[in-house]
Structure 1
């Protein structure tokens, strides 16, 4: 037995079961994009609302940091979008890709601002945030000007992410089983 892990891992199979559930869910989302999209609209509304509250609290709690105002503005925008999205589900379903596109654009611009701030602080890791910020702006423009692609992108990225998380869980469970056998 491995000395780092004196007791065997008891329920190594639970991550595998969870992984299978996630993979099945991801496949279901791929097969039912319209109903999945409608369910995602409500999920996104709740995410914007809750993240807006958290970001506002975080920004106000950290006013002593430079550029805390940007975090506050981002939180207020997320909160307002969350309220709008929850108030009108049909409008949300119609305009979600545009909303998400603008949020991604705003976050990408913020990321570019952070990259510039990192460069001014002589931090060597400023290039990646700059590149991802620029790519985010380009992808957000695609979502804004072609909402159909944006809607499909949201559904398919979600499905793909859920499947990948399922695969990760299965790999984790198998690894835990191997730990048990050591």
Structure 2
């Protein structure tokens, strides 16, 4: 049996066609979020940081509860407790000092970019006698190092760039979902 005509695929296509409007709403929501992120990047970053703080706090509380509940049956429960308490502390720090959390996250990204960029540069140098076009890897490495250094020197620009990347992704995803919703709507109506 051809995959294009399999009963499972037909059911999925039928489900999408009947609920095309859900895809449309998801696409419009993604576009709206993307535009909000583009025009209000500071708000986007603040919300992401606070979501991280909420996650860390909930994770910590659940970790402490697990450690205390299992202390009779697990001799290493103290490590679970430390893990949970550390998560709670990070969650509290995130809520009381969200700017510090944002800055630390950007510094992690900066260090990662510099280290990977240097590794790419070294790899390009080692490959220069073995392959052609190694200079492309060198340029990518140099770009990563420059990006990392810029994040350290101008962290606000890095935060702004991160918000704009999220915005562009959201808008593109939204457009694709809207187009898909219109396509499956026609499928449900019997049009190609």
Contact 2:52 2:91 in 1 (8 A): no
Alignment partner of 2:16: what SS? coil
> Which structure would you say has the larger Rg?
2
* Structure 1 residues 28 and 36, CA gap change in structure 2 (3 angstroms): same
Contact 2:24 2:177 in 1 (8 A): yes
Does residue 106 of structure 2 align to residue 97 of structure 1? yes
The C-alpha deviation readout for 1:40-92, integer Å capped at 9, x for no partner, is 2355687xxxxxxxxxxxxxxxxxxxxxxxxxxxxxxxxxxxx7965632211
Alignment partner of 2:178: what SS? helix
Q: How does 1:123-142 map to 2 (within 5 A)?
A: 129-142=137-150
Structure 1 length normalisation: TM-score?
0.57
Contact 2:27 2:175 in 1 (8 A): yes
Structure 2 length normalisation: TM-score?
0.55
Alignment partner of 1:10: what SS? helix
Partner of 1:19: 27
Specify which of 170, 177, 182 is matched with residue 174 of structure 1. Answer: 182
Does residue 172 of structure 2 align to residue 164 of structure 1? yes
How many matched pairs?
144
Unaligned stretches of 5+ residues in structure 2: 56-86
Bigger mean CA offset, 146-155 vs 97-106:
97-106
The C-alpha deviation readout for 1:17-38, integer Å capped at 9, x for no partner, is 2111111111122333223212
Give the Å deviation of 1:148: 1.9
Unaligned stretches of 5+ residues in structure 1: 47-82
CA distance in 1, matches of 2:156, 2:108: 13
Does residue 25 of structure 2 align to residue 4 of structure 1? no
CA distance in 1, matches of 2:122, 2:186: 42
